[in-house]
Amino acid sequence: MRRMRPLRLVSLFLFAAVSASPSDQRQLNLDSFEFIWTTVHDQYWDPTFGGLNWQAVHDELRPRMERATNMAEARHVMREMIDRLGKSHFAIIPADVYADLDEREEGSGPATTGLDARVLGGKTIVTTVDEGSPAGIAGVHTGWEILSIDEVPVAPALRRITNLDRDSTMLELHLARSLEAKLSGATGSEARIEFVDGEGRHVTKPIERSEPPGSLSRFGYLPPMHVWFHSRRVAKNIGYLAFNLFLDPAHIMPEFGDALTACADCTGVIIDLRGNPGGLGIMATGMAGWFFDKPDQRLGTMHMRQAPIKFTVNPRLPTYRGAVAILVDGCSASTSEILAEGMKDLGRARVFGTRTAGAALPSAIDKLPNGDGFQHAVADYISEGGKSLEGAGVTPDVEVKLTREALLAGHDPVLDAAIEWIHTRK
C-alpha cells in the first residue's frame, strides 16, 4: 500500500549504453563474467544447480562476452548468465548507480512525488498519497487511475511486463517497480501525471518531485536508500507500525521496540509490510523477539552449501502479548516474507492481504572488477512450517484485495480487515 522502494534498484537505474569499451574495460568485463560464474559455482546452495549445466552456460556465453563491445552488452550477457538460474536475488547493479547516488548523497536519493500505485484489475491505481507530499498538496486522491506519466502512457509497458511475468509470483513487484521508476526522478524535477479522478474526469497534474521521507542509509554495496519508520494508533487499542525497508537497524529496531512498548496494553498491533522489499534478514528475528517469551523458536532455516543457519528468535523484553496482524501484498518480499511466514508458522500472527512476491533468498552483494555490483543468493530459505518461500510467497490467512472503489471512498480494506479481526480478540 505504501510506496515501494525496491531493495534492488536495478530496474530504477538502467542506464543507456556507453561508448565502446577500451581494452582494459573489456578485460575488466571478462574478469567480472568469470567472477560471477565462479561465485555461483562455489557458493550456490545447490551444487547441482537444479539440473542446470553451469559449465555449459559458461562455455556458451563466454564467447559472447568476449565479443561485447560496451558495458551494456557486457551486462546483458552477465544478466543472461544469472537469469539461467531462474531465481530471485541475482542482479547486476550498474556502477553508475553508486556514482550517481554518491554525488547526491547529501539528503538525496531518487526523489518522489509522494504517491504510490499498484495495478488493480488491469488499471494503474493510486493506493497511497503521503500527507503533505507534493502529490497530496496537488490534491491527488487514492483510487485515482494513472493514465500517463510525462505524457508516456503507462499501460503498454505494464502490459509487456504482465505478458512476461504472467505466471510469476513477482508480477506485482515488477509492475510496481516499473511504475516507481517512472514516478521517481531528480529532486525538483516535475512529473506530469494524467489521472482519471473519482468522477471519471481526466485530470493532469504537474507534481514536483521531492526528497523521499526518512534518512539515507548505507549498508555494504547496497545503493544508499532512504529508510523510514512510523507508528500510530489506528483505533483506541490497536497500534500500527510500518517501515519501508529492513535496514538501518540502529534506528529502526529501537523505534520498533519503543512503538510496541508504547502499545503494551493494546489489544493488538498491525505490522504493515506492504511494499516492503526486505533488507537485513536478521532484523526479522530481532523484531520477532518482542513477540515471544520462550527461547529456541525459529522463523525458519537458511540452507547454505556450508551449513544450515537457523533464524532463531531471541526473546526481548518487554514481551508484547497482544494479537498481531501482518499486512502483505505482492510487493512484500524477502525479509518481509521471512517475518510474515515465520510469525504465521509459529502461530503468533495472522496475515492479511495478498500473496507476497516469493523472492525470499538470502543474498550478498559483491563488487565486480568492472565496478558493477553483483547481488547473488547464497542460500535457500525454508520457513519453520517447512515451506520454501521462493517462487511461492506467503499465502495470507485472510486474502483481502484492494479495490478502486474502496480507495476512492478513503478505505483500506486490508487494514480494515486486520482491525476487525483484532476487535474480535477482545
Partner 1 sequence: MRLCRSFMPLFLGVLVCSAGWAADEPLPKAEEILDKFVEVTGGKAAYENIRNEKWTGSFEFLGKGIKGTVTSYRADPNKSLTSMELEGVGTIKEGTDGQTAWESSSLQGPRVKKDEERAFALREATLRGPLYWRKLYKHVETIGQETIDDQACYKVVLTPEEGKPETQFYDKKSGLMVKMTATVTNPMGEIPTETMLSDYKEENGLRQPHKIQQKAAGLDFLITIDRFDYNVDLPANTFDLPADVKALAPK
CB of 403 to partner 1, least distance (A): 38
For partner 1, give the closer residue by CB, 212 or 249.
249
Using DSSP, how many helices (H) and how many strands (E) does the chain show?
12, 20
Q: Is 270 helix (H, G, I), strand (E, B) or coil?
A: strand
* List 308, 321, 405, 425, residue binding partner 1 (CB under 8 A): 308
Q: Residue 5: left if φ>0, alpha if ψ -120 to 50, beta else—which one?
A: beta
Binding segment for partner 1 (CB under 8 A), chosen from 50-58, 215-223, 262-270, 386-394, is: 215-223
User: For residue 114, what are the contacts with CB-CB under 8 A and spacing of at least 6?
Assistant: 3, 129, 130, 132, 133, 134, 135, 136, 207, 210
* List 254, 261, 385, 420, residue binding partner 1 (CB under 8 A): 254
Q: What is the rounded CA–CA span in Å between residue 30 and residue 253?
A: 41
CB of 350 to partner 1, least distance (A): 24
Q: Does 253 bind partner 1 (CB under 8 A)?
A: yes
Q: Does 304 bind partner 1 (CB under 8 A)?
A: yes
Q: Does 221 bind partner 1 (CB under 8 A)?
A: yes
Residue with cell 556458451: 60
Per the structure block, which three cell numbers stand in for 340?
A: 510474515
CB of 118 to partner 1, least distance (A): 30
Per the structure block, which three cell numbers stand in for 68?
A: 561485447
For partner 1, give the closer residue by CB, 153 or 295.
295
Binding segment for partner 1 (CB under 8 A), chosen from 116-124, 170-178, 280-288, 338-346, is: 280-288
Q: Does 249 bind partner 1 (CB under 8 A)?
A: yes
Q: Does 95 bind partner 1 (CB under 8 A)?
A: no
Dmax (CA) of the chain: 70
Q: What is the rounded CA–CA span in Å between residue 340 and residue 396?
A: 9
Which of positions 326-385 make contact with partner 1 (CB under 8 A)? 364-367, 378
Q: Does 96 bind partner 1 (CB under 8 A)?
A: no
* List 30, 137, 155, 282, residue binding partner 1 (CB under 8 A): 282
Binding segment for partner 1 (CB under 8 A), chosen from 75-83, 114-122, 213-221, 259-267, is: 213-221
Q: What is the rounded CA–CA span in Å between residue 389 and residue 382?
A: 7
Q: Is 2 helix (H, G, I), strand (E, B) or coil?
A: coil
For partner 1, give the closer residue by CB, 52 or 304.
304
Q: Is 32 helix (H, G, I), strand (E, B) or coil?
A: helix
Strands 229-235 and 238-243, bridge-based pairing: antiparallel
Q: Is 93 helix (H, G, I), strand (E, B) or coil?
A: strand
For partner 1, give the closer residue by CB, 235 or 365.
365
CB atoms near residue 302 (< 10 Å): 21
For partner 1, give the closer residue by CB, 80 or 100.
100
CB of 115 to partner 1, least distance (A): 29
Count of residues that interact with partner 1, criterion CB under 8 A: 38
For partner 1, give the closer residue by CB, 248 or 272.
248
CB of 307 to partner 1, least distance (A): 5
To 10 degrees, what angle do helices 155-165 and 171-183 make?
Answer: 150
Q: Does 121 bind partner 1 (CB under 8 A)?
A: no
* List 151, 250, 347, 386, residue binding partner 1 (CB under 8 A): 250
Element (H, E) at 230: strand 229-235
Q: What is the rounded CA–CA span in Å between residue 228 and residue 5?
A: 11
Q: Does 314 bind partner 1 (CB under 8 A)?
A: yes
* List 145, 180, 194, 248, residue binding partner 1 (CB under 8 A): 248
Q: How far is CA 148 from CA 123, 182, 402, in A?
A: 11, 10, 21
Decide if 385 contacts 345 (C-beta within 8 A): yes
Q: Which long-range contacts (CB under 8 A, 24 or more apart) does 167-170 make?
A: 168/358, 168/391, 169/330, 169/355, 169/356, 169/357, 169/358, 169/359, 169/391, 169/392, 169/393, 170/88, 170/330, 170/333, 170/357, 170/358, 170/359
* List 64, 79, 230, 310, residue binding partner 1 (CB under 8 A): 310
Q: Does 285 bind partner 1 (CB under 8 A)?
A: yes
CB of 411 to partner 1, least distance (A): 36
Binding segment for partner 1 (CB under 8 A), chosen from 179-187, 200-208, 288-296, 417-425, is: 288-296
Binding segment for partner 1 (CB under 8 A), chosen from 104-112, 161-169, 189-197, 253-261, is: 253-261
Q: Enumerate binding residues for partner 1 (CB under 8 A).
A: 43, 217-221, 247-250, 253-254, 257, 280, 282-283, 285-286, 289, 295-296, 304-312, 314, 316-317, 364-367, 378
